[in-house]
Amino acid sequence: MKSSFKIFSISGIPVELHISFLLLILVIFLFAFLGIFTLYVAFLIVLLFVTVVIHEFSHSYVAKRYGVPVERIILLPIGGVSAMGEIPKNPGQELNIAIAGPLTNIIIAFICLLGLFITGGIGSLSISSFFISNTPNADINLFLSNFLGINLVLGVFNLLPAFPMDGGRVLRAFLARKMSYVKATKTAASIGKQFAILMAIFGIFFNFILILVAIFIYIGADQEYKAIMVSSMLEGLLVKDIMTRNVATLTPDTPVTEALNIMFKQRHMGYPVMEGNNLVGIITFDDVSRVPEDKRNFPVKDIMSKNLILANPEEPVFNTFEKISRNNIGRLPVTENGRLVGIISKTDIMKVLEMMDAESAR
């Protein structure tokens, strides 16, 4: 099932709404309907998500200009995510991509401030006017103050120097000018973790929400660190170095029951399906076992995956690992000039990582 669906696109980048977002919309409307929220608050919540889209779009726009493929922007109830290809390990470009989001928010906040000067509402501006109040009679000044507040908080929060916030990336980009990318990531991740610990301690005394944010930051810093360790451990390793060369294959007309027997006997979880010398599909144990036992009297070609994601023997393993993770699949057929030359699985890559990890710990 698709977990998100497209609502519109801006300059070729689809903006998708995650399914869980519908629940949030429902809650907003219910609260507005019950009078817990005024319509103004419901409007501000919608505006908050428009602001998140603008923020994500700013990252994506700059990334696209550097030739990074941007697949889509997904809106979740907790914020937005830009799904893009690998960000260049070029500190200058990474810095610009990372800073584009918060910078846009700060510019919008500044425009609101100018607006308040023009409307004359600047005099009434105070910290408390940033907070969203459940008032039935909102005016332009309140709106400008609230919009200023939303953008300022979003901009500043994202500039915190910790992964997964943009500020963590900005920090890494700065560090990467003086040291290797891996070392910069390690350093930025550990600064982020220390920052999270400080924040949690601060939260104990002042605000419990800060503890939740701190946990989120700590986990984010750790994940980023692991991702970069994986990429550095796999550095220089090519698909041809670890792929399985003698690939067991099936023909399109192999009955599903027979395919299952072969899988049990040979203990492979996936088989490329070959018609003569042509790769026409891939069939996995999952595909087969999903078919009810009494309905397995048809050939594998009826249930095999035909949209194949392929690997190339000369491709870096890290690339393949990303393709496998992103598409949530177990294995990729490896082809060279249209000819099947091997197969590479997630398990193969995990084994290599385990061995490297054990090696480095010795």
The site for Zn ion (CB under 5 A) is made up of: 101, 158, 166
Q: Which helix (H) or strand (E) holds 278?
A: strand 278-284
Q: Nearest approach, Cβ of 60 to Zn ion (angstroms)?
A: 10
Kindly tell me which of 27 and 53 has the beta carbon lying closer to Zn ion: 53
Q: Nearest approach, Cβ of 80 to Zn ion (angstroms)?
A: 8
If phi over 0 gives left and psi between -120 and 50 gives alpha, with beta otherwise, what is residue 276? left
Kindly tell me which of 101 and 121 has the beta carbon lying closer to Zn ion: 101
Q: Nearest approach, Cβ of 102 to Zn ion (angstroms)?
A: 6
Which residue minimizes CB distance to Zn ion?
A: 101
Q: Nearest approach, Cβ of 167 to Zn ion (angstroms)?
A: 9
56 is catalytic: yes
The CA–CA distances, whole Å, from 328 to 76, 196, 262, 340 equal: 20, 31, 24, 22
Kindly tell me which of 146 and 158 has the beta carbon lying closer to Zn ion: 158
| Phi, psi (degrees; rounded to nearest 5) at 325 | -70, -45
- The gap between the terminal CA atoms of the chain, to the nearest Å, is 44
Task: From 253, 245, 331, select the one nearest 298 (Cα to Cα).
Answer: 253
- Cα dihedral sign, 294-300-301-306: positive
**Residue 284 to residue 330: CA distance in whole angstroms:** 9
Kindly tell me which of 74 and 260 has the beta carbon lying closer to Zn ion: 74
Is residue 296 classed as helix, strand or coil in its secondary structure? coil
Q: Nearest approach, Cβ of 98 to Zn ion (angstroms)?
A: 7
Kindly tell me which of 55 and 186 has the beta carbon lying closer to Zn ion: 55
User: Following CA atoms 28, 164, 166, 357 in sequence, which dihedral angle do they give, to the nearest 10 degrees?
Assistant: -160
Catalytic, out of 16, 56, 94, 224: 56
Kindly tell me which of 82 and 254 has the beta carbon lying closer to Zn ion: 82
Q: Nearest approach, Cβ of 327 to Zn ion (angstroms)?
A: 24
**Residue 355 to residue 234: CA distance in whole angstroms:** 11
Q: How many CB atoms lie within 10 A of CB 186?
A: 18
Amino acid letter, residue 234: L
**Residue 153 to residue 110: CA distance in whole angstroms:** 13
Positions marked active-site: 56
